[in-house]
Amino acid sequence: MGSSDNTNESKLKNTPTDGISAVKFAPTSSQFLLASSWDCTVRLYDVVENTQRFKYSHSAPVLDCCFSDATHSWSGGLDCTLKRWDFNAGVETVVGAHNAPIRCVEHNPDVNVVITGSWDQTIKLWDARDKKPVGSYSQPEKVYTMAVTGEKVIVGTAGKKVLVWDLRNMSYVEQRRESSLKYQTRCIRAFPNKQGFVLSSIEGRVAVEYLDPAPEVQRKKYAFKCHRVKKEGVETIYPVNAISFHCKYHTFATGGSDGYVNIWDGFNKKRLCQFHVYPTSIASLAFSHDGSMLAIASSYMYETGEPGPQNQVPEDSIFVRHVTDAETKPKSLT
């Protein structure tokens, strides 16, 4: 388990000027990357050329974004408004709104809907083609994070609640759960094989959960500590802000407020590697569709409040890393 060098990664130019809230690769290309930011913009990068192709704005900080296909992005944030951008035509459409900030925006390709999760305690479904609302569904608390898997969406809310909805039948909640971690949920992402999900919390822990409610399957779930730094006998515990799955190997990356990115083999419960330390907290992570690249957003997240007068906030950066099999492939497959 080595710490990897950084010769195989590049830093993007024209990065956002305030906290980066999300990075997402295009669904079928490792070339295009979307980034949403607290500077009220959504940017499209060509990571091969290291250029910014497009930039559009909201009237307030943007908290999440996604692609619905190769040429359309969707985004939402503190202005409570869901926008869709057509990159080919350069046309922006205001699709709809929530009654409070939109925290999560995800596209589900299996059902071709865009799902928004909001602090107004609802998720809304939008038809990706017709750009119209399909329905609004109340959640027990504010929505903090969402993951799509197959025809399902997994919603993580305040109060450590986790809900599993089937997008083909939204008349009831398929599963209601509580996070097995003690503290507030930060991020949920689903296994590519649709069998489960990984959930992280603000206190340096990650839980691996399975969707099948059968007791023998539920017995396989577990949690582990990560993103903790021990110095002179004192352990500092950091939030785990970001998770992203490698679609081919089903390993996953975690990013923490310690500035580190770790790659995990969830099935064998092993850490495969840890990259060098980044300038500040890891705010978002995204593997490309083929697993060849990992986008890493490094942004100070004000976990410890405003930095003191001497402490300059590190600039917001996006690194794009060419990942190797050595870093991402379970040892059992090598």
Task: Please provide the DSSP assignment of 112-127 as one string.
Answer: TEEEEEETTSEEEEEE
Alpha-carbon span 292 to 315, nearest angstrom: 26
Q: Kindly give the confidence (pLDDT) of every residue in the chain, 334 residues in length, as a single tens digit, with 9 standing for 90 and above.
A: 444 456 799 999 999 999 999 999 999 999 999 999 999 999 999 999 999 999 999 999 999 999 999 999 999 999 999 999 999 999 999 999 999 999 999 999 999 999 999 999 999 999 998 888 899 999 999 999 999 999 999 999 999 999 999 999 999 999 999 999 999 999 999 999 999 999 999 999 999 999 999 999 999 999 999 999 888 999 999 999 999 999 999 999 999 999 999 999 988 889 999 999 999 999 999 999 999 999 999 998 876 666 655 667 788 999 999 999 999 999 876 5
Q: Is 224 a member of any domain?
A: yes
Residue in this structure with the two tokens 């990897």, named with its chain if needed: 4
Q: Based on the structure, what is the number of domains in the chain?
A: 1
Alpha-carbon span 194 to 108, nearest angstrom: 13
Q: Is 308 a member of any domain?
A: no
CB of 228 closer than 8 Å to CB of 204: yes
Domain housing 125? 3-301+313-333
The reported pLDDT for the residue numbered 272 is 96
The reported pLDDT for the residue numbered 1 is 43
The H-or-E segment that residue 328 falls in is helix 325-328
Q: What are phi and psi of 172, to 5 degrees?
A: -155, 165
Alpha-carbon span 276 to 311, nearest angstrom: 21
Burial grade of 306 (CB within 10 A; 0-12, 13-18, 19 or more):
exposed
Q: What are phi and psi of 129, to 5 degrees?
A: -85, -50
Smallest CA-to-CA distance from 284 within 26, 113, 35, 7 is with 35
CB of 228 closer than 8 Å to CB of 238: yes
Smallest CA-to-CA distance from 21 within 46, 39, 1 is with 39
Q: Is 307 a member of any domain?
A: no
- The domain that contains 154 carries what CATH number? 2.130.10.10
CA of residue 85 relative to chain centroid, distance: 20
Q: Structure pTM?
A: 0.94
The reported pLDDT for the residue numbered 308 is 59
Q: Is 210 a member of any domain?
A: yes
Concatenating the DSSP letter of every residue in 34-101 gives: EEEETTSEEEEEETTTTEEEEEEE-SS-EEEEEEEETTEEEEEETT-EEEEEETTTTEEEEEEE-SS-
Burial grade of 64 (CB within 10 A; 0-12, 13-18, 19 or more):
buried
CB of 200 closer than 8 Å to CB of 240: yes
Alpha-carbon span 200 to 222, nearest angstrom: 12
Alpha-carbon span 13 to 10, nearest angstrom: 9
| 135 DSSP β-pair partners | 125
Residue 281 tokens read as 């907290």
Q: Is 83 a member of any domain?
A: yes
The reported pLDDT for the residue numbered 3 is 46
* Helix (H/G/I), strand (E/B), else coil: 218: helix
- CA-atom Rg of the chain in angstroms: 19
Residues 6+ apart with CB under 8 A from 175: 162, 163, 164, 211, 213
Q: Is 306 a member of any domain?
A: no
Q: Is 140 a member of any domain?
A: yes
Residue in this structure with the two tokens 């709809």, named with its chain if needed: 96
Alpha-carbon span 136 to 275, nearest angstrom: 41
Q: Is 285 a member of any domain?
A: yes
The stretches of 92-214 forming alpha helices (DSSP H) are none
CB of 133 closer than 8 Å to CB of 148: no
Alpha-carbon span 15 to 12, nearest angstrom: 6
